[in-house]
């Protein structure tokens, strides 16, 4: 595992992702998306909307699984936008853990505006 992957895994776990290697877990009611990139500095996954990857797939279910090729992990936002170049999808979601919301009294609630349980599966990718 590369240093970049190790940093991603550590930060993804801190953000609230459950990290798996190789195979996606079988979870009732879960939807699966293929992440475009992963951001090592925040442990976030980047999901782009397309006809094959509708936004609802990652926003509506209670459980969501992101498949991320290890060779698509970049250090941070600067490298992400450099890799994307001018080819931006109609929507780009940078997901940093389960949905979180707090009311005026700062009572934290998980899963109100998106999945409350998030998983990322690291799959081997081509070497850069």
Q: Which residue has the tokens 């240093």?
A: 3
The DSSP bridge pattern shows strands 73-74 and 100-102 to be unpaired
The predicted model scores a pTM of 0.88
How far from 75 is each of 1, 41, 54, 104, CA to CA, in Å? Answer: 15, 6, 26, 34
- Asked if residue 119 belongs to a domain, the reply is yes
State the pLDDT at residue 111. 65
- Using DSSP bridges, classify how beta strands 63-69 and 44-48 pair: parallel, antiparallel or unpaired: unpaired
Task: Supply the pLDDT for residue 128.
Answer: 46
CB atoms within 10 A of CB 52: 8
Let me know if residue 77 belongs to a domain. Answer: yes
| Contacts of residue 79, Cβ cutoff 8 Å, sequence gap at least 6 | none
Q: Which CATH number characterizes residue 56's domain?
A: 3.40.50.10420
Closest by Cα among 88, 30, 89, 82 to 60: 30
Q: What angle do CA 58, 13, 35 make, to 5 degrees?
A: 35
Does residue 128 fall inside a structural domain? no
> Is 37 within a domain?
yes
Residue 31 lies in a domain: yes
What residues make up the domain containing 49?
Answer: 3-123
H-helix or E-strand containing 101?
Answer: strand 100-102
What pLDDT score does 121 carry? 97
Per the domain annotation, does 94 fall within a domain? yes
Over the chain (128 residues), the average pLDDT of each successive run of 10 is 95 96 91 96 95 85 94 97 89 88 76 84 79
Segment (H or E) for 57 = helix 55-59
Q: How many domains does the chain have?
A: 1
């Amino acid at each position: 595992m590369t240093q970049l992957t190790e940093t991603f895994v550590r930060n993804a776990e801190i953000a609230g992702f459950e990290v798996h290697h190789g195979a996606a877990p079988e979870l009732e009611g879960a939807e699966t998306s293929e992440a475009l990139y992963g951001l090592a500095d925040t442990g976030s996954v980047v999901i782009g909307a397309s006809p094959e990857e509708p936004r609802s797939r990652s926003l509506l279910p209670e459980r969501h699984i992101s498949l991320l090729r290890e060779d698509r992990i970049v250090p941070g936002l600067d490298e992400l936008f450099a890799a994307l170049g001018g080819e931006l999808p109609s929507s780009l979601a940078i997901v940093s853990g389960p949905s979180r919301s707090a009311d005026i009294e700062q009572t934290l609630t998980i899963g109100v505006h998106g999945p409350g349980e998030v998983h990322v599966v690291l799959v081997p990718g081509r070497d850069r």
